[in-house]
Amino acid sequence: MISVSEIKDILIRDIKLNPVFGEISEIVKDKHAPVRENDVPERIVIVVPGGADNGQLSRSYPRICIYVPYISFTKEDGLTYSRPDGARITELENECIRAFRSTVYGKSGIETYIYKLEDIVIEEDGETFSNFLNVRLKFEVVNTKL
C-alpha cells in the first residue's frame, strides 16, 4: 500500500524531471495559487483522489492538470480578446502521450508501483483564464499481498 501523499510526491518528482514539464515554474499538489487576468502562468496541479491524506491505497486514478493561459490579441476595432493557445495545448498533449502512454515503473520504500495514461481531456476554466489538460493516470502498487 502507498499513501496519497506519496503518490503526489512521486508524480511531482517525475514531472519535474521531464524536460518539457520541468520548465513550468508552478508544479503543486491539490491547488494552484490564485491568478489575475493579466498575470496567468502555466502551471501543473497534481490531484489524487482517495480520501484522507494518510489513506493507504493499492490503486488510484490521479490527475495531472496542466493549465495553459489564454492568449490575448487586439483586433482592428481596438478591443482586446482572449482565446485558447491551441498550439501550446497540442504541444503539451503530445508530451503527455509520449511521457505517460508507456507504463512507468518505480519503487517507493518497499513498494513497487506502476502508472500509465488512462485518458486526456481538454477543458476550459474561465475563472483562471486558462484551458487545461486533465490527464488521468492509473496508478497501482504491484506488490500488494491479498
The pTM for the full model equals: 0.86
The pLDDT assigned to 81 comes to 84
Instruction: Let me know if residue 108 belongs to a domain.
Output: yes
User: What domain range includes position 64?
Assistant: 2-141
Residue 23 lies in a domain: yes
Does 82 reside within a domain? yes
Cα separation, 105 vs 113, whole angstroms: 6
pLDDT at 64: 97
- Residue 146: inside a domain, yes or no? no
| Domain assignment of residue 111, yes or no | yes
Q: What total number of domains does the chain contain?
A: 1
Q: Which three cell numbers stand for residue 26?
A: 508552478
pLDDT tens digits along 43-92: 999 999 875 445 567 889 999 999 999 998 888 888 888 889 999 999 99
Q: What is the pLDDT of residue 76?
A: 82
pLDDT value at position 146? 44
Phi, psi of 88 (to 5 degrees): -70, -40
Question: Per the domain annotation, does 15 fall within a domain?
Answer: yes
Mean pLDDT of 30-43: 86
Whether residue 130 is contained in a domain is answered as yes
Closest of 86, 113, 104 to residue 18, by C-alpha = 104
Tell me the pLDDT band of 34, cut-offs 50, 70 and 90: confident
**CATH number of domain containing 21:** 3.30.70
The dihedral built from the CA positions of residue 46, 21, 68 and 33, taken in this order, carries a sign that is: positive
